Structure 1
Amino acid sequence: MRRIFSTLIILVAMSFSVQAIDLQDAKQSGLVGEQTNGYLGAVKPSSEVNALVKTVNDKRKAKYQELATKHNVSVKAISVRAAKKAISLTEKGQFIESSPGQWKKK
């Protein structure tokens, strides 16, 4: 399971390579944050923020599905583990979801 987790983190990180600057800027500006379900959320929604969130989440969902199929586990199991890791890696001052729809700065 540890290998699955390591692979997941690498694949998710790779999925951001095209939008890394935009995503980092959005996180640092407090526009988006990491949710407890393994997906990115819009802290301050706008059309641009929502488009970024959708793009990132579509890539995450595809990776989660790929890993779930490969390791014969549920997508939810993968996304929950990814959420824990993403939240732990979130920088101080950036937003994380404390409960559904509730945001707090780490």
Structure 2
Amino acid sequence: MTLVARFSALLLAFSMALPAMAMSLDEAKNALESAKSQGLVGETPSGYLSAVGSDQKSKDIASAINDARREAYKKIAEKHGIAVTKVETVAGQKAVEKTPSGQYIQVDGHWIKK
């Protein structure tokens, strides 16, 4: 096997393993409250979480939770015959309102500690 063929096989194997390294929803749920309390993840008015900083674990938590939220919002919108954006907006408002003091929310594109 040539060096190029070995490299290609290794690259293919690595790329197939990437999805397996993604954070599961259960892992994200278990890490969410701690990440919020530490100021790593915050609520946005869009109805989704976002990483406050740039660390990958926070981004992974937000991504896994947001995927689940997106599916839930879609189901709610279909059930009530409304736009998903309406569900996202209402969910975002509620999430921001429910966020305890000391945790981060996004206001006008900027993070503030509530």
* Partner AA of 1:90 in structure 2: T
Partner of 2:83: 74
Q: SS state of the match for residue 66, structure 1? A: helix
- What is the aligned partner in structure 2 of residue 85 from structure 1? 94
3-state SS of paired residue (1:54):
helix
Cα gap change, 1:50 to 1:105, in 2 (>3 Å): same
RMSD value, Cα: 1.4
| Contiguous gaps of at least 5 residues in structure 2 | 1-24
Which of 38, 45, 60 is matched with 1:36 structurally?
A: 45
Give the greater-gyration-radius structure (CA).
2
Q: Residue 54 of structure 2: SS of its match in structure 1? A: coil
Instruction: Say yes or no: does 1:59 pair with 2:68.
Output: yes
Q: TM-score by structure 1 length?
A: 0.79
Tell me whether 1:27 sits opposite 2:39 in the alignment. no
> Which letter maps to 1:65?
K
How far residue 21 of structure 1 moved from its aligned partner, in angstroms, is 3.3
TM-score of the pair, normalised by structure 2: 0.74
Number of positions where the alignment pairs a residue of Structure 1 with one of Structure 2:
90
Quote the offset at 1:45 in angstroms.
2.0
